[in-house]
Amino acid sequence: MTTGKMLIDGEWVDASNGATYTVPNPATEEPVGRAPDATADDMRRAIGAARRAFDDGPWPRSSRDERARALLRIADAMERRKEDMRQLLIAEAGATWVTHPMQVDSPIEHLRHWADIVRSYQFEEMLPARASQGPLGPQMNCGVVYRQPVGVCAMIPTWNFPVYVTVQKLGPGLATGCTMVFKPSPWGPLINLFIAELVAEADLPPGVVNFVTGQGNDIAEALVSDPRVDKVSFTGSVATGRKIIQASASNLKRVFLELGGKSVGIYLDSDGIEMNAMVASGPAMFHAGQGCAMATRVLVQKDVHDRFVENMVGFVQNMVKVGDPADPATMLGPVIREERRQKIEEYIGAGKAEGATLATGGGRPKDLQRGYFLEPTIFCNVRNDIRIAREEIFGPVVSVIPFADDEEAIRIANDSTYGLGGAIYARDTTRAVEMAKRIRTGVVWINNGINMFDGPFGGFKESGIGREGGRWSMEEYTEVQQITWRA
């Protein structure tokens, strides 16, 4: 499905020492393929190529039209090879079909949208002319605010929605005229090398986009500490985000961080329980709970808590098929690796030990001997101060927390070191909007769970720094410059 080569300076290459590593299918534990296991020297070569492409190449000065055409060529290539991409996402990421609108279709739409944005974006904005007293007498001054590409970008996407996350960096990176080195997650190299092949169809100058894969963190560290890099764009955990800030300090790199979350879903009404309970069970099955903004803390009114939980349990036990992600009927696939499964099981143990009630799940499905599967798991009567309510589990585990009134729901929602997403379900949208304004998270979905294409996405508090989406990404990947002249 992919050549399995890295893209450095416009050439398809292996790791310089010839090393590769096996990438397993999380549903079968069988190999999907092998990826180059690059060295820090390979990484430095890619950074050098991106630096030259930025300093001496034509791309940073390319026209809007050239950028838009490149983005459309990549989108078209992705469309043509959509079925290959789908199969690779199933095999490498364990992506069930219910996730494909976001895993497969949405990135193509986004690339096309970046092409639209670059055609109309205001890279130059005139300032109002202003008279002043100069050394030689009165003078008129004109000025423009110009947005230059930020420079060489270290792009470190994660593995959960690998095409989506990579495209969220690639699209605005190209639209703004940056050059870049992608260092995909060690758990998602093949799909990124596949994207590299599609990028090559855009005929970009050598070095504009480079992809370097490897299983060690040494190549990531070499990338984020290199003074030739101007910006780091990272999607991953808070712990790694902190290390990146430290490594970036040497030359004050710009840093964009999309990190984890412990989002709430607040259910304000005491009726409509059947439908709401199904929605609230989402993180216990959708991509095995491996999503940054999933509402893994479910807040329900105290007096309907038990009925709500009964409905959730009924739904996951009777409706959620667990198993092979290649089967379109499957709703819950595997988690990405055995080490992740064990970590999730540790959280399940902590939930029980700290007094939460296990309503369903908590174990491994008996009929699935291979693959990193877990049962959909729901805890109820959870207190917000225990580990399963405070830490990001990143597995198919949901905690139901009762609340007495709106004020308590807001207090629980905000009682978190994270601040990424949140959802409110209510018939009274005015009440919900007023509540949303008091929730300290980067996004609040009311009755929909949908991100607007041009809306900003990102975190308050430890969920990140910066915003992506539409013009917000354009701002992340540009530096603002003031140019003034005497009229």
Rounded CA separation 432/349 (Å) = 35
60 near ligand NAD (CB under 6 A): no
163 near ligand NAD (CB under 6 A): no
Q: By C-alpha distance, which of 372, 370, 316 is closest to 343?
A: 372
The interface mask with ligand NAD, positions 266-295, x = CB under 6 A, is --------------------------x---
Q: Which stretch binds ligand NAD (CB under 6 A): 88-96, 220-228, 326-334, 347-355?
A: 220-228
Q: Which of 49, 90, 180, 224 binds ligand NAD (CB under 6 A)?
A: 224
Element (H, E) at 377: strand 377-380
Q: What is the DSSP string of 259-289?
A: -----EEEE--SS-HHHHHHHHTGGGTGGGG
Q: By C-alpha distance, which of 38, 56, 468, 50 is closest to 229?
A: 50
Q: What's the angle, vertex CA 373, arms to CA 335 and CA 419, rounded to 5?
A: 35
Q: Which is nearer to ligand NAD, 192 or 478 (CB)?
A: 192
Q: Which of 114, 159, 211, 373 binds ligand NAD (CB under 6 A)?
A: 159
Distance (Å) of CA 122 to CA 61, 118, 140, 186, 478:
15, 9, 24, 37, 12
Q: What count of Cα atoms within 13 Å lies in the side-chain half-sphere of residue 358?
A: 17
217 near ligand NAD (CB under 6 A): yes
384 touches 415 (CB < 8 A): yes
Question: Total number of residues binding ligand NAD (CB under 6 A)?
Answer: 27
Q: Which is nearer to ligand NAD, 158 or 276 (CB)?
A: 158
Q: Which of 92, 230, 258, 324 binds ligand NAD (CB under 6 A)?
A: 258
Q: Tokens representing 251? A: 């030359």
325 near ligand NAD (CB under 6 A): no
Q: Which is nearer to ligand NAD, 77 or 335 (CB)?
A: 335
156 near ligand NAD (CB under 6 A): yes
Q: Please, which of residues 437-466 interact with ligand NAD by CB under 6 A?
A: 464
Q: Which is nearer to ligand NAD, 96 or 158 (CB)?
A: 158
Q: Name the CA radius of gyration of the chain, rounded.
A: 24
Q: Which is nearer to ligand NAD, 38 or 474 (CB)?
A: 38
374 near ligand NAD (CB under 6 A): no
Q: How far is the CB of 340 from ligand NAD (least distance, A)?
A: 8
Which residues are known to be catalytic? 258, 292
Rounded CA separation 320/316 (Å) = 5
Q: By C-alpha distance, which of 321, 257, 334 is closest to 290?
A: 334
Q: Tokens representing 36? A: 């180059």
Q: What percent of the residues of the chain are helix, what percent strand, and what percent coil, each to the nearest 5?
A: 40, 20, 35
37 near ligand NAD (CB under 6 A): no
221 near ligand NAD (CB under 6 A): yes
Q: Which is nearer to ligand NAD, 160 or 384 (CB)?
A: 160
First to last CA, the chain: 59
Per DSSP, 428 falls in state: -
Q: Please, which of residues 167-206 interact with ligand NAD by CB under 6 A?
A: 185-186
Q: Which of 261, 325, 396, 422 binds ligand NAD (CB under 6 A)?
A: 261
Residues that bind ligand NAD (CB under 6 A): 156, 158-160, 165, 185-186, 217, 220-221, 224, 235-237, 240, 243-244, 247, 258-261, 292, 392, 394, 420, 464
